[in-house]
Structure 1
Amino acid sequence: MAEIVNLRRARRRAARLLDEKQAEQNRILHGTPKGLRSQAQNERERAGRQLEGHYLERRSGGSTDTMGNRTEDETEPGA
């Protein structure tokens, strides 16, 4: 004789198994350990500080464009 199966429970069990498989795949694809996340954050901060250290400082009395060149209206006379 066949075993009696509650279809609602069987559907829920199948859905749970499918969800667990999807969750495992997501953990593999998107999961990053905390140590690696903090290491990446530290590297980004360090790169930002290093970049800021390479900016050219503005000279007093003259304005420069984004490339560090003096603007035309402020060029020295006779140059």
Structure 2
Amino acid sequence: MKPINLNKARKAKARAEKSARADANAVKFGPSKAEKNSVTSLTQKRSRDLDGHKLDK
């Protein structure tokens, strides 16, 4: 049987709990402001690019 460092085990458990809590909050509160801005800017760029490729008749 191999001895374990209890401090490492305690900290690993705390990290796992913190990560689980963060994942739950991400689902609960939705995407961050930066992610929302990124999606919005990408959508606007695609729209501009599409409009730029239209042919005038």
Taking structure 1 as the reference length, the TM-score comes to 0.40
Q: Percent identity?
A: 29
Task: Select the structure with the greater relative contact order (CA < 8 A; seq sep ≥ 6).
Answer: 1
**1:34 corresponding residue in structure 2:** 36
1:25, CA displacement in angstroms?
Answer: 0.2
Structure 1: gaps (5+ residues): 39-79
**1:16 corresponding residue in structure 2:** 15
Counterparts of 2:2 and 2:30 in 1: how far apart (Å)? Answer: 41
Structure 2: gaps (5+ residues): 41-57
What is the SS of the residue equivalent to 2:3?
Answer: coil
In the comparison of the two structures, how many residue pairs are matched? 35
